[in-house]
């Protein structure tokens, strides 16, 4: 996990014996972390000692806006999919009823259409 205080990013490293559950945190969570700072070749690491060393203090405003936008987009997409499927089914039903009303068989009409295509 990486945390950023607005000036620099630092890697938070969870050692196995600490019992820290990292899956309870998500991108955009605001946290306060206490731990041991260690310098490595790639930079600094922060090593919390237990779950109590990591306190969630809130959620970043940008993340909240992103979640709301993604949810609205997903709902809009689902509605469009259902409307398209409903319109397609209704159109097929109306075409079939219209053909039947004229007393013609759908098979005959399709056969005529295929013959016209083959002639071209």
Give the residues of the chain that fall short of pLDDT 50.
none
What per-residue confidence (pLDDT) applies to 68? 62
Compute the distance between CA of residue 95 and CA of residue 72 in angstroms, rounded to an integer: 34
At 7 the pLDDT is 79
Identify the three-state secondary structure at position 39: strand
Cα end-to-end distance, the chain, whole Å: 65
What's the pLDDT at 4?
78
Angle among Cα 4, 6, 7 to the nearest 5 degrees reads 95
Token pair recorded at residue 120: 């071209």
CB atoms within 10 A of CB 4: 8
pTM of the model: 0.45
Structure tokens at 89: 């089914």
């Amino acid at each position: 996990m990486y945390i950023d205080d607005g000036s620099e990013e630092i890697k938070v490293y969870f050692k196995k014996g600490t019992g820290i559950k990292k899956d309870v945190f998500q991108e955009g969570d605001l946290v306060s972390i206490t731990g041991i700072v260690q310098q490595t070749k790639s930079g600094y690491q922060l090593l919390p000692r237990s779950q109590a060393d990591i306190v969630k203090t809130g959620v970043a405003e940008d993340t909240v806006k992103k979640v709301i936008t993604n949810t609205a987009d997903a709902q809009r997409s689902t509605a469009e999919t259902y409307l398209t499927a409903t319109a397609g089914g209704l159109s097929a039903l109306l075409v079939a009823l219209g053909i039947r009303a004229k007393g013609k068989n759908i098979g005959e009409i399709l056969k005529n259409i295929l013959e016209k295509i083959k002639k071209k």
